[in-house]
Amino acid sequence: MFENELGDGDATANWLLIKGNKILVFIDKVQFTLPEINIYKLSKKMAKSQYLDRVDGRSCYVAELTADTVAPEGMLFYDLRGLLGQIPDDLFFLAGKAFQILHWDHTHKYCSQCGAQTENKIDERAKLCPSCGFVNYPRISPAIIVAITKGREILLAKGSSFQTNFYSVLAGFVEPGETFEECVQREVEEEVGLKVKNIKYFGSQPWPFPDSIMVGFTSEYESGDIIMDKKEILDAGWFSADQLPKVPGIGSIARHLIDWFVQS
């Protein structure tokens, strides 16, 4: 089921409620429909909704609340990034999926082929153009993230787009016609002027800011001196495990890669 309307038996469905770039929570927990909350009062503030999945045998939906919605007593609207590492991974990824689906719904209201207004496809998660029949699926933007080691040191950089003053491993979006490994080599060379070898898959993580999936790798320094791309990188250097600068918080694949280095 992928339609917006509630189906039969969905009166007990779980809901994730979002306003702007924030999600409604009880203190630090992603909000589902609970006895303390009357979802039908909040439903008057729903601008739109989308089916997400089934969770513990119950349907789960995401709804966008209007800008004037006030959080019920005992609740608040919380930035999704702030929940990373603070709630169980399965709940964070479900909340991330909710943001990603709403973002897709916002950005695909009209057919990119003929301009007609799209509608939800009933049998799968997709937007169907009733005019020309074009089908559009949720966008997923793959990006690599890589830990580069040189003996007992790891390369860390401070990116120009980082909102806080921390250092992290390098990352970048995959380009058309490019393998993940080729992307690793290109991004590293572009951002810090180095060549790397022994590129190995590490793991992946959905990254709903707004629609990425981070594909993690480890690699080893091969050659070159650090020459920073000043537009992307503010500072970069080699760090030992006992002299790390401020790094990303727990929960992100960037932190998993750094922890892997520390523990190896």
33: containing domain: 10-107
Q: Both 196 and 170 in a single domain?
A: yes
**Can you give the CATH number for the domain in which 89 is found?**
3.90.79.20
Residue 98 in domain? yes
| Bridge partners for 60 per DSSP | 14, 53
Residue type, 205: Q
pLDDT in tens, 239-254: 999 999 999 999 999 9
Distance of CA 215 to the CA centre of its chain: 12
SS3 label, residue 122: coil
Residue 178 in domain? yes
Mean pLDDT of all residues in 119-134:
96
The model's confidence at residue 91, banded by pLDDT at 50, 70 and 90, is confident
SS3 label, residue 96: helix
Q: Is the pLDDT of residue 7 over 50?
A: no
Residue 210 in domain? yes
How many domains would you assign to the chain? 3
Mean pLDDT of all residues in 217-234:
96
SS3 label, residue 97: helix
Q: Both 241 and 166 in a single domain?
A: yes
H or E element at residue 236: strand 233-240
Q: Both 80 and 14 in a single domain?
A: yes
The model's confidence at residue 5, banded by pLDDT at 50, 70 and 90, is very low
**β-strand pairing of 119-120 with 135-136:** unpaired
Boundary of a domain, candidates 54, 86, 107: 107
pLDDT in tens, 148-172: 999 999 999 999 877 678 999 999 9
Buried b (16+ CB within 10 A) or exposed e, 201-223: ebeebbbbebbbbbbbbbbebee
Q: Both 92 and 124 in a single domain?
A: no
Dihedral pair phi/psi, residue 125, rounded to 5°: -80, 100
Residue type, 5: E
Q: Is the pLDDT of residue 10 over 70?
A: no
pLDDT reported for residue 11: 63
The model's confidence at residue 260, banded by pLDDT at 50, 70 and 90, is very high
Q: Both 39 and 119 in a single domain?
A: no
Q: Is the pLDDT of residue 202 over 90?
A: yes
The mean predicted confidence, pLDDT, of the chain is 89
Residue 4 in domain? no
Mean pLDDT of all residues in 49-64:
87
- Work out the angle at residue 26's Cα, subtended by the Cα atoms of residues 91 and 248, and round it to the nearest 5 degrees: 55
pLDDT reported for residue 32: 62
Residues 95 and 207: their CA atoms lie apart, in Å, by 11
pLDDT reported for residue 164: 72
SS3 label, residue 185: helix
The model's confidence at residue 35, banded by pLDDT at 50, 70 and 90, is very low
The model's confidence at residue 9, banded by pLDDT at 50, 70 and 90, is very low
Q: Please report where in the chains the tokens 């209201």 appear, as a residue.
A: 109
The model's confidence at residue 259, banded by pLDDT at 50, 70 and 90, is very high
Q: Both 162 and 219 in a single domain?
A: yes
Q: Both 101 and 165 in a single domain?
A: no
DSSP 53-94: EEETTEEEEEEEEPTTPPPPTT-EEEEGGGGTTTS-HHHHHH
Q: Both 117 and 193 in a single domain?
A: no
Boundary of a domain, candidates 61, 89, 107: 107
Residues 188 and 168: their CA atoms lie apart, in Å, by 13
Residues 250 and 135: their CA atoms lie apart, in Å, by 38
Q: Both 100 and 212 in a single domain?
A: no
Q: Both 18 and 34 in a single domain?
A: yes
Residues 245 and 243: their CA atoms lie apart, in Å, by 7
